[in-house]
Structure 1
Amino acid sequence: MKVTINIDCTPEEARQFMGLPDVQPLQQAMMKQMEERMIVEIDRFSPENLLKTWFSGMPQNTDWMRNVMGGMFSPGSSDEKKK
């Protein structure tokens, strides 16, 4: 014998029926806090600030980046020079 039961209820009604807590207020508070923290910190992760932080921490990084870029855009690649 096969029995099928269809229950039409909202997620809130199902939570109440199962005895699960309503975490929606907590979830909304956490999302609001995360949004506020993201807005405060968003400028810290802009490309300009990341480059400034990276280059100011180690002055030799500027020379290294110049060498890398110079090597990429030079007329001959290092493989051709070895031949």
Structure 2
Amino acid sequence: MKVTIDIDCTPAEARAFLGLPDIAPMQAALMDEIEKRMKANLQAMEPETLFKTWLPATIQNWEQLQKLFWSQMAGSGRKE
């Protein structure tokens, strides 16, 4: 014997029938918070701000790398 049951209901009706909580209000609040944070962080993504933030560290690292190379080259010319 084979029995087939077709149920036609919306996801909200299925959640209510199974006793699952309605998380739509929580999800909407969470999405609003994410949107606010993304808008606030977009200001930091302006090219001028990024340039000012990254440039000093990049120049400092480049200078350190140059000093390392020069010290290695100066040391390699010595005869012991």
Report the TM-score range of the alignment, normalised by the length of the smaller protein.
0.5 to 0.7
Structure 1: distance between partners of 2:47 and 2:2: 62
Contact 1:55 1:61 (C-alpha < 8 Å) held by counterparts: no
**Over aligned residue pairs, what C-alpha RMSD do you find?**
2.2
Match of 1:37 in 2: 37
- Give 1:9 deviation, angstroms: 0.5
Aligned residues between the structures: 64
List per-residue Cα deviations over 1:33-82 (Å, max 9, x = no partner).
1001110111212344223211123433577xxxxxxxxxxxxxxxxxxx
Match of 1:8 in 2: 8
Structure 1: distance between partners of 2:45 and 2:24: 30
Q: With the length of structure 1 as denominator, give the TM-score of the two structures.
A: 0.64
In the alignment, is residue 56 of structure 1 matched against residue 59 of structure 2? no
Structure 2: distance between partners of 1:49 and 1:3: 66
Q: Report the 3-state secondary structure (helix = DSSP H, G, I; strand = E; otherwise coil) of the residue aligned with 2:22.
A: coil
List per-residue Cα deviations over 1:9-35 (Å, max 9, x = no partner).
010000000000000000000000100
Identity of aligned residues (%): 52
Q: With the length of structure 2 as denominator, give the TM-score of the two structures.
A: 0.66
User: Which protein has the larger Cα radius of gyration, Structure 1 or Structure 2?
Assistant: 2
